[in-house]
A and B are shown apart, each in its own frame.
Chain A
Amino acid sequence: AQKVTQAQTEISVVEKEDVTLDCVYETRDTTYYLFWYKQPPSGELVFLIRRNSFDEQNEISGRYSWNFQKSTSSFNFTITASQVVDSAVYFCAFLGAGGTSYGKLTFGQGTILTVHP
């Protein structure tokens, strides 16, 4: 069975600090997909990124960047120069591409990020 662990339950930073959210996954699948979602205080879930297991290139989108390392089964998310609007719960999620796990997204427990002005 797949498992996603977000070790940091809560993180608190001051605006303009950089912050990294950790995500570690467990799987026996060779093909899989990894995701990050943001859940702001309003409650909706916002898709941020999808990576497949064959693409280990890091990705940058504005102040957001993602570091995928297959060797350590990690898919970490960094926010550079954090802002108050980044305050949210962030979820890492895993989707296996084979067998009975196909189509079943497994979420981590989430990291609550609070950015103080």
Chain B
Amino acid sequence: NAGVTQTPKFQVLKTGQSMTLQCAQDMNHNSMYWYRQDPGMGLRLIYYSASEGTTDKGEVPNGYNVSRLNKREFSLRLESAAPSQTSVYFCASSELSAYEQYFGPGTRLTVT
């Protein structure tokens, strides 16, 4: 039982490049989330998926897109990376939207 897994762990991009962050959970959870963590700002919600087939914007969605591929997988795409997107990205899942969320180990992304 791996919980929530994220790939890659580290990534360096040049401005304008694109990439997809992958997230998978094996807890049969319905809801999945993407956050970014910046120094001194806590975690901020980018997008979430309350259930398979639905996605919704969070607090900071600009510059990102998401895909809920199936119940297990939720990917985050940066179409044209910008230095302001340098951050640590966390994926999380929960049984239902009102329940506690369990987090992956994070992806440290640097955009130069």
Contacts and interface: CB of A to CB of B under 8 A. Distances in A.
B100 A104 contact: no
B50 interface: yes
Contacts of A103: 31, 48, 50, 56, 97-98
Contacts of A109: 40-42
B83 to A, nearest CB: 22
Contact of A104 (B40, B48, B88): B48
A8 to B, nearest CB: 13
Looking at B48, B58, B101, B104, the one whose CB has the most chain A CB atoms below 10 A away is B101
B44 interface: yes
Interface residues of A, number: 20
Interface stretch (A11-19, A42-50, A60-68): A42-50
Contacts of A95: 97-98
Contacts of B88: 43
Interface of B: 31, 33, 40-45, 48, 50, 56, 58-59, 88, 90, 92, 97-106
Given A95-B97, A104-B59, 13 more contacts: A37-B103, A44-B105, A45-B90, A91-B43, A97-B98, A102-B97, A103-B31, A103-B48, A103-B50, A103-B97, A103-B98, A105-B33, A109-B42
Interface of A: 33, 35, 37, 43-45, 47, 50, 91, 95, 97, 102-110
